[in-house]
Amino acid sequence: MKIKSYIILLALTSLLFACKKDNYDEPTSKLSGKLVYKGEAIGVETFQVPYELYQFGFGKVGPIGSSFAQDGSYSAVLFDGEYRLIIPNGQGPFIWKKTPGGSPDSMAISVKGNQVLDLDVTPYYMIKAPQIAASGGKANAAFKVEKIITDANAKNIENITLYINNTQFVSGGNNIGTATIAGSAITDPNNIVLSVTIPSITPAQNYVFARIGLKVAGVEDRIFSPLVKIQF
């Protein structure tokens, strides 16, 4: 009888503990923002550039991981508390601050209610003054390229591509047409022109979405110009 009573008591205790655990409030504070350089947004490929949030305590030691949207924005719903954010080494078409030992440095964030926090990064290049329009059945782009990192960390341009797609997701993996120029073929970084034929679209539509992606030599992720919708 004692053993049976002990088992029943143990089961009731486990049930009460489980109910208490299930009754914890869900996180309600929203942390959001975007990647920026001197206040200008940094575009990337959709959900290909990760970031990590750490909250120490509560028995947690691993990161809360997620990725940036194609416009460089991010959003996380969190409990109030103290967090640290990092972008892992080798991620993104930019340099994230590092510790003297070369590890990705962390940004301390105090979360209390909804908060907007932009993340300053240093891109290798910026696509400046992009103009994209349709004419003669083609999407035509004219733009400039500015080299931002010029010290020992500087890298060359591998290529630049104009992408078009029939949806708002536009990248190397999401497109219906591209035009590319190799970095070695760029003679004037202040006057670069690309043009791509707009293919037939089913079901028919009289617009496409476009943006320009710059590939840095030795860097996996491209930096992108803002998304534009062009009609034809």
Query: What's the confidence (pLDDT) of residue 18?
Result: 47
Give the distance from CA 38 to its chain's centroid.
Answer: 17
Are 212 and 132 contacting, i.e. CB atoms less than 8 angstroms apart?
A: yes
The single residue listed with the structure tokens 């341009």 is: 157
Q: Are 227 and 43 in contact (CB under 8 A)?
A: yes
**93, 121, 149: which is the final residue of a domain?**
121
Tens of pLDDT, residue by residue over 70-120, are 999 999 999 999 999 999 999 999 999 999 998 999 999 999 999 999 999
Q: d(Cα 186, Cα 215) in Å, to the nearest integer?
A: 13
Confidence of residue 204 (pLDDT cuts 50, 70, 90): very high
Confidence of residue 63 (pLDDT cuts 50, 70, 90): confident
Determine how many CB atoms are found less than 10 A away from the CB of residue 9: 10
Write the pLDDT tens digit of every residue in 37-52. Answer: 999 999 999 999 999 9
Q: Do 43 and 98 reside in the same domain of the chain?
A: yes
Residues 55 and 132 in one domain: no
Q: State how far the Cα of 74 lies from the Cα of 126, in Å rounded to an integer.
A: 20
Gap between the Cα atoms of 43 and 171, Å rounded: 11
Domain presence at residue 22: no
- Of 60, 89, 121, the domain-final residue: 121
What is the enclosing helix (H) or strand (E) of 86?
strand 81-86
Same domain flag for 83 and 33: yes
User: Is beta strand 207-216 parallel, antiparallel or unpaired with respect to 223-224?
Assistant: antiparallel
pLDDT tens for each residue of 135-161 = 999 999 999 999 999 999 999 999 999
Same domain, 217 and 129: yes
Q: Could you tell me how many residues make up the chain?
A: 232
Question: Is residue 110 assigned to a domain?
Answer: yes
Instruction: Judge if 46 and 128 occupy the same domain.
Output: no
Which residue is associated with the tokens 């080299």? 147
**Ordered DSSP codes for 184-225:** GG-S-TT-EEEEEE----SS--SEEEEEEEEEETT-SSPEEP
Question: Of 121, 142, 176, which residue sits at a domain end?
Answer: 121
Question: pTM score, two decimals?
Answer: 0.85
Report d(CA 137, CA 106) in Å as an integer: 48
